[in-house]
Amino acid sequence: MSPHSFRIGEPLFHQLMSHLFPGDCDEHGAIIAAGISRSTRRIDLLAREIFLAKDGVDYVPGRTGYRALTAEFVARVSHHCSREGLAYFAVHCHGGTDAVSFSPTDIHSHQRGYPALLDITKDGPVGALVFAANAVAGQIWTREGIQELHDLTVVGLNHRRLFPSSQQQTSQVDARYHRQSLLFGASGQQMLRQAKVGIIGLGGAGSLVNEWLARLGVGEIVAVDPEKLDLTNLSRVVGATPWDAQEFLCTHHWTWLNRIGRGLASRKVRIAERVARQANRHVRFRALATDITDMDTAHALKDADFLFLCADSAQARLVFNSLVHQYLIPGMQVGSKVPMDKETGAIGDIFVASRPVLPFPNGGCLHCNNLIDAAKLQEEAMSPDERRGKGYVDDPDVRAPSVITLNALACAQAANDFLLGFLGLFYDNRDERYLLEFCRQRRWRPGERKILDTCLHCGRSQGSIYARGDKARLPCKPARR
């Protein structure tokens, strides 16, 4: 059986903890409505909504225990979960700091009430969480049996993980990671070894991120890119060789040899795999030479711990943004831009961008910030013949300028954000805005973020995909049969 984990956005977690621990050393209650994501790696319960129980109204002295949720409150929220296809989790708090468990009275109340709740919520799952200041325990009830919660992850720029009790810390570090472990310790290195990170796009930016993650000791990398290497990529794709690009054949004066050369060129994901394994022989590497808009490919990333978007198509942005918010996975969008005047060729204000995209309102949602161009989405969905009919440029030789040093600026910031945030090393007062460097001015500037209350990605409207997990459909092509 896959371990059960809970994921909750940082603002929602702070709201919950402020309610449970207001400073009065008393017990308080709530209910979490959660989406569900199932994979072979784990089963994630994704906090979508919190219903805070009012003391003396919804949370009252119990008949067999100290406090209990009222029947009316339970009925109202459980029917809401049933309508929305969400899991129901009752929440309360105990004293203590670093360890917590259910009392015998708690267990008896689960046995009395949860079989009926499974019926009400149409087979759930249902369950309960109990919090201490730095710990959480949980029970998950399904028709197949009862499972214990493994951990809870608070998803934000700073990651935080809670367990039922303090985890045994390792003191062993591979010699190759000794110097970096002086920064974040053996336990931090262990967290990196257990992490799964997805990279969408393995070109000039993604190939840099890939090598750095492997050298940091990330345990599993899933790389997504359908393209083969061509000659124009050689100056930017890390680890690429003239042989990978079939340079001899592709530069021959016989055009039929050019076609053969392009067909024999290496896949970008295969080059990335070679680079990653050279950097870290223990890395678990999954190379997906498919498009992120393929449903099976996107689903391979739904249980990732972090995502990097290093492709610049509108469709890639849409799927990435959906994965972030539907499955509560933090991510970074990176890229560079060299504006050029189409008539004069004059170069404009070069900039690179590193954009944190966090799964909660005002977390940098690409949709809220107008970074998913609807016109480009429509254009990319067309066939080549349809694009020509509409008057779109369809010339593979028309490319935007790209330089490895510009990619490196954006990727270094993004990779550092992943490392410090995943290990919980950011200051509490850190700046979570987008960061852009205008290279010709040598100046970093923060980019303000926007929020739309009606957003169907990060919002809480009935139609939004936020934290719905497997109940919502990703904006992809149908899964392969």
DSSP 377: H
Helices 71-84, 104-120: axis angle to 10 degrees equals 50
Q: Are 222 and 331 in contact (CB under 8 A)?
A: no
Nearest-angstrom CA–CA distance, 266 and 241: 10
Average pLDDT over residues 75-97: 95
- What was the pLDDT predicted at 253? 86
- What digits encode the pLDDT tens for the residues 100-141? 999 999 999 999 999 999 998 888 899 999 999 999 999 999
For the chain, give every residue range classified as CATH 3.40.140.10: 4-162
Q: Which residue has better confidence, 48 or 460?
A: 48
DSSP 422: H
For the chain, give every residue range classified as CATH 3.40.50.720: 175-227+267-447
Nearest-angstrom CA–CA distance, 325 and 322: 5
pLDDT at 332 over 50: yes
- What digits encode the pLDDT tens for the residues 22-42? 999 999 999 999 999 999 999
DSSP 219: S
Average pLDDT over residues 332-350: 88
Nearest-angstrom CA–CA distance, 185 and 181: 5
- What digits encode the pLDDT tens for the residues 277-316? 999 999 999 999 999 999 999 999 999 999 999 998 999 9
Q: Are 208 and 408 in contact (CB under 8 A)?
A: yes
pLDDT at 384 over 70: no
If one looks up domain 4-162 in CATH, what number appears? Answer: 3.40.140.10
- What was the pLDDT predicted at 66? 85
- What was the pLDDT predicted at 481? 56
List residues bridging with 151 in a β-sheet.
5
Nearest-angstrom CA–CA distance, 306 and 8: 14
List residues bridging with 332 in a β-sheet.
308, 356
- What digits encode the pLDDT tens for the residues 407-417? 999 999 999 99
- What was the pLDDT predicted at 397? 43
Q: Which residue has better confidence, 392 or 432?
A: 432
Q: Are 69 and 31 in contact (CB under 8 A)?
A: yes
- What digits encode the pLDDT tens for the residues 145-155? 999 999 999 99
Please give the backbone phi and psi of residue 55, each rounded to the nearest 5 degrees, phi first: -60, 135
**Assigned token pair, 474:** 């990703």
Percent helix, strand and coil across the chain, each to the nearest 5: 30, 25, 45
- What digits encode the pLDDT tens for the residues 160-201? 999 999 887 777 888 899 999 999 999 999 999 999 999 999
Per-residue 3-state assignment (H helix, E strand, C coil) for 264-332: HCCEHHHHHHHHHHHHCCCCEEEEECCCCCEHHHHHCCCCCCEEEECCCCHHHHHHHHHHHHHHCCCEE
Q: Given CATH 3.40.605.10, say whether it is the number of domain 175-227+267-447.
A: no
- What was the pLDDT predicted at 396? 45
